[in-house]
Amino acid sequence: MNNQEELNKLVGVHLGKAGDGTAVKPYITPDTVDKSLLVAIPRYLNRTSYDLKEDALPFVGIDAWNAYEFSTLTHNGFPISGWLKFTYHANSPNIVESKSVKLYLNSYNMARLIADQDSLWWIEDKIAYDLTEAVGTEVTVSLGIGDVETVRPFTGDFTSLESYCDVSKISFDQFNESADILKKIATPIQRFRWRSYSLRSNCRVTNQPDWGDVYVHIKGAYTVTPESLLQYIVSMRKENHFHEEIAECIYKRLWDMLQPQELMVGCLYTRRGGIDINPIRVSNSTLYNFTPIIDSYNLCTKTARQ
């Protein structure tokens, strides 16, 4: 069984056939919590394509999820609605498929599990336990109810590639990913911080478009030209990958080409079905200081597109 066939088998339980774009039968949300709805996808199904070895990854990282439509009931039927965030490390054996997360969280909608809002910790612990079982590593969960304070997802200034480059003078004619698009240049050792709102890739399950913003931090004796980096981000436009896979692909190409002292790639995807996924990959954990988004208790401001 090849990687795509294995993926088809995993998601076909209640999500439809991967990548065929056909409609999926309506799913009736249960009135009780059902953790069997969660579909775990092994990370190696994509990593082998980029020669990423599970025991020698060139990065550490966090996947940060926001679910903006979480709701449940108290014992007396009063609805509690809020914003749920969870995070887990990139060294987990599995990711969890986003539509299956939505179905799972929806199974809380009519469940009467807690006496009042003071018992929300029980819901957090329950979700953390079920997600941990699915992805194979510890998951941390927080619930925000009512007005919540937010922080910026990244600290420091990132220059917009679209504003910096004269896009009218650049040819954008490659819409499948290739490392050959990136142009390496030598530079005095310094930091380069770029962001782009031009990311589009496609879901491996539904073939529907996913939109995102990319943040890149590079420090080393080499970098890539901003024009080629923008062309490279645009080249994801016809790729079919999960969000986490796109972030790791961009990171691996830059890592292999530049061998930098520091590298960070973060992809902030826009929400679909009330959920957004934000994979962050860094060359060393000290770069987490620039990425508040990785903390499950930091609810972050959104980009304009989110």
Which amino acid is it at 61? G
Rg (CA), the chain: 20
Tokens of 200: 């589009």
- The question of whether 300 is a catalytic residue gets the answer no
Spell 105-118 as b/e; 16+ CB within 10 A means b.
Answer: bbbbbbbebbeeee
Set 63, 130, 165, 210: catalytic member: 210
Per the CB < 8 A criterion, the answer to whether 260 and 220 are in contact is yes
Per the CB < 8 A criterion, the answer to whether 257 and 184 are in contact is yes
Residue 231 DSSP one-character state: H
Distance CA 198, CA 288 (A): 24
Query: How crowded is residue 271: how many other Cβ atoms within 10 Å of its Cβ?
Result: 17
Tokens of 166: 């004269």
Helix (H) or strand (E) holding 70: strand 60-74
Set 165, 203, 249, 300: catalytic member: 203
Query: How crowded is residue 94: how many other Cβ atoms within 10 Å of its Cβ?
Result: 19
Helix (H) or strand (E) holding 163: helix 161-164
- The question of whether 118 is a catalytic residue gets the answer no
Summarize the chain as % helix, strand, coil (round to 5): 30, 30, 35
Which amino acid is it at 94? N
Cβ burial of 160 (10 Å; 0-12, 13-18, 19+) is: middle
Tokens of 292: 């508040």
Catalytic residue IDs: 203, 210
